[in-house]
Amino acid sequence: MSRTVGRVLAESLIAHGIDTIWMVPGESFLGLTDALTEVPEVRLIVCRHEGGAGFMAVADGRMREGRAGVLLVSRGPGLSNAMVALHTAYHDATPLVVLCGQVERKDFGRLALQEQNYSKLLADVTKDVIEVNEVVQASESIARAFHLAESGTPGPVAVILPEDIFDEPTEAPVAKPRPRVYGGAREEDLDKLADMLAKAERPLVWVGGALANAGAGTLDELRQLAEQWVLPVSPTHRRPQLFDAGHPNYGGYMGIRVPKQLVEEMKKADLLVSLGERLTDSVSQSYSFPTAPDPQLPLVHVWPDANEIGRVFRPDLGIAAEPAAIIRALLKRGAPAGAAKRAGWVAGLNTIHNTLMQPNWDSMSDGVNFAAICVEVGKHLAPDAAVTSDAGNFSSFIHRYIGFRPGQNFLSSVVGAMGAGVPMAVAAAIRRPGKQAVAFVGDGGALMSGNEIATAMQYGAAPIIILSDNKRYGTIGMHHEVRYPNRPYEDAVRLTNPDFAAWARVFGAEGITISTEAEVEEGIARAFAVKTKPVVVHVHTSAEQMSAWRRRGAPRVHG
């Protein structure tokens, strides 16, 4: 029976398990939104900016255990506004399907209103750009997009849909989802990995993005592996929830600018197993540990996509497989004889971590030391809380002073894009109603995407937004001080900010101000007591305490 392409596309999205689409309305895809209004299985979340909608879709792709989030944007300016989210999804290996309108087919090449060549525009921030110009291929293109977005190294895939295609009649069937295909380790690779681990006296295991969507069962198996094989496990940049920070096998957080004491101890390792981590510059400390392209210690690299292994580093063993499968395979083999001898090595790393995590900080004269905020927030976090972080030095306090554990969800832009914190928290609150969604954001990022508080109000979501206000782009100020010491830089990073608590109340949200450390305990408790609407906690933060590891004018204590 003939239906419109718009209706077939709507049914295709349902067939792929999509129940939520994040979007900003646009005339170029009215035929699709019209069809979606007839299918109750899919809800449209109307956002205030395509950048915010994109970050929400990226967050959704993180929360759905390997299934892609879906972003719907209009052509030209709409897609351009969303580019920061595509860049994030591409670098962070997050599955995302972007549906974008296009000019009518008869106007291709005429420079019609908002026309662009999306294959060129998106070439460096997507896995593929699929242009649907034939009615019969509409549903097939959706199936291909989801398959590419979710397979191998996950990432964003764009589907370009001309405005005039939606109302075309078609008898083409809805294309069924492609089966998931997983790479697997050869038996000889597993033998070699087990042998390398058995012989190592000081092995080190880093766990990262390919485990970010792992279920509770897989993370529990990771814990069992660490205990059985006596291994230290370190979550990597922006993935702190992958291993319990309170567990004795926790080897410390491996993110940006790791404390020198921890890095120096890690460098004593005689084997590094990168389990589901791409090994970017952020994790490898600017390609110094391990060194690129030839690591200074034996390296085992496990990643689902063979194309990623060996792209930068030469591993001694590369395994193109799901990390969860490797964990299970090693558990079945049982711990090697002599594994207990590594207990001192594991305890040494854990002791350094525990020392760094001690809730000690100095009170500052120019504002609240953000350490006090993070320690207090940590007391209130639920075992299943979703925590989001924007980019900025304030996030170093999160990773130093909050001990994350499996069951919690940490959402951020691993590539470091500002503006992710608030919309990702809004998405988490919408996706998981009744559960905690806590955002950490700086004063710079807050005014890039904080307008999505209006989206939270519209859909009854209640995120808690902890806002660090030091009246400057603090990270850039720190980099300037490091690179050009004793040179003025304030005019290049200074910000004039509103009263953010009052700003929150304008949206209908709750606004709380914290100006001194004496107000921290009560202010954070008040924020977590609000359950029915968004809360913004406006913290007047010290600028002198530039990060969790550096004070202005003082020697750095990180690597």
Residues 6+ apart with CB under 8 A from 13: 21, 36, 42, 70, 142
User: pLDDT tens digit string along 146-188?
Assistant: 999 999 999 999 999 999 999 999 999 999 999 988 889 999 9
Neighbours of 546 (CB within 10 A): 25
**How far is residue 86's CA from residue 79's CA, in Å, rounded to a whole number?**
9
CA nearest to 74, candidates 39, 138, 118, 42: 118
Question: What's the confidence (pLDDT) of residue 18?
Answer: 98
Say yes or no: do domains 3-170 and 370-540 share a fold. Answer: yes
Q: Does domain 3-170 have CATH number 3.40.50.970?
A: yes
Run means of pLDDT, 10 residues per run, the chain, 559 residues: 90 98 96 95 98 98 93 96 97 96 91 89 96 95 98 96 96 93 92 97 96 90 97 96 97 90 96 96 94 97 95 97 96 92 97 92 96 98 98 94 95 93 98 97 96 98 98 87 85 93 98 98 98 98 92 61
| Domain ranges (residues) in the chain | 3-170, 187-355, 370-540
What is the Cα Rg of the chain in Å? 24
Residue 402 CB-half CA count within 13 A:
33
Domain 370-540 architecture:
3-Layer(aba) Sandwich (3.40)
Task: Supply the DSSP symbol for 288.
Answer: B
CA 328 to chain centre: 25
Neighbours of 542 (CB within 10 A): 24
Prior bond of 169 cis (ω within 30°): no
**How far is residue 42's CA from residue 36's CA, in Å, rounded to a whole number?**
7
**How far is residue 48's CA from residue 51's CA, in Å, rounded to a whole number?**
9
Residues 6+ apart with CB under 8 A from 378: 401, 402, 403
- Residue pair 31/169 in contact (Cβ under 8 Å)? The answer is no
Question: What's the confidence (pLDDT) of residue 558?
Answer: 47
- Residue pair 94/61 in contact (Cβ under 8 Å)? The answer is yes
The partner residues of 97 in beta bridges, in order of sequence, read 70, 157
Prior bond of 156 cis (ω within 30°): no
Using CA atoms, how far residue 306 sits from 273, 278, 310, in Å, is 16, 11, 8
**How far is residue 275's CA from residue 145's CA, in Å, rounded to a whole number?**
27
Question: What's the confidence (pLDDT) of residue 113?
Answer: 84
Encoding tokens for residue 333? 């083999």
Superfamily of domain 187-355: TPP-binding domain (3.40.50.1220)
